[in-house]
Amino acid sequence: MAELIDGKAIAAELRGQISTDVEELMAIGVTPGLAVVLVGEDPASRVYVSMKEKACAATGIYSVEHKLSAEVGEAELLELIAELNGDEKIDGILVQLPLPGHIDEAKVLEAISPSKDVDGFHPCNVGRLVTGNPVFQPCTPSGVMKMLEYIGVELKGKDVVIVGRSNIVGKPLALMCLAEHATVTICHSRTVDLPQKVAAADVVIAAVGRPEMIKGDWIKKGAIVIDVGVNRVGEKKLVGDVDFIAASKNAAAITPVPGGVGPMTITMLLYNTLVSAKRRAAKKG
């Protein structure tokens, strides 16, 4: 059976280090600050924002929530972002997605200062990731990379197959793996001979958003499996994009769902906010 990659434990260790670094910054008069903007009453978004606020409080990061009506105008939202861009107490700005249909999501994300874009979605930060000189890396992909590092997986020379091509996970993760000298194949739901491609991988990263799409017998013996997917089946059960039980028979190590990649995403948001605050402290001298 595969070794379980415990995202909760890895995240807890990283958050402990973040807390220590926050204390050191506060000792020189800099408190890392995160502003979260929530538009509307989407239940899932409300839960995510609450989790982020609790994580900030636990690590000593100052957080402020701006809760706006679902009917808020695009101009008003952009005005708020402009104010936060200029607020010296704020090191990171996060606009919780999705946004209501009448708001141009791309315009809003581009309005965030690249130096405070702790989600790593601004085109400037995406471009810097492409060129190998990132400022902020998207939280879920960087969390995956931290997990691989934590369990001692060296990607140099490895065949990595990523199933999923989203701007949030698949594409940036491919760039991060390339930077570590892996050979990367991006697959998706329309890939021909997907089982064969997955079977050739030393590392399989599933982020396609389809319950248990990746079957256990597709996994090569000894492969590492990172399951980014979170899919609700029935009223209460959560499953990943990988058939966990079957894949565990072949994989050397695998992430569970829940308790795998999920805790790492918020942890890397805290990390990015900390990095931004350290840059502010350096400017102060």
113 — pLDDT class (breaks 50, 70, 90): very high
139-262 maps to CATH 3.40.50.720: yes
Q: pLDDT by residue (tens digit) across 28-73?
A: 999 999 999 999 988 888 888 999 999 999 999 999 999 999 999 9
Mean pLDDT of 141-165: 98
Q: Would you place residue 189 in the very low, low, confident or very high pLDDT band (cuts 50, 70, 90)?
A: confident
Q: What fold characterizes domain 29-114?
A: Rossmann fold (3.40.50)
Residue found by looking up tokens 């402290």 in the block? 281
Task: Compute the average pLDDT of residues 93-99.
Answer: 94
pLDDT at 258 over 90: yes
Q: How far apart are CA 285 and CA 272, in angstroms?
A: 20
- pLDDT, one tens digit per residue, over 205-248 is 999 999 999 999 999 999 999 999 999 888 778 999 999 999 99
- Please answer whether residues 280 and 91 qualify as being in contact, where contact means their C-beta atoms are separated by less than 8 angstroms: yes
Q: Enumerate the active-site residues.
A: 52, 96, 119
Does the pLDDT value for residue 285 go beyond 70? Answer: no
What is the reported pTM? 0.94
| Residues forming CATH 3.40.50.720 domain(s) in the chain | 139-262
Average pLDDT over residues 140-166: 97
Examine the pLDDT at 132 and tell me if it is beyond 90: yes
Where in the chain do CATH 3.40.50.10860 domains reside?
29-114
Report, as an integer, the average pLDDT of 104-114.
97
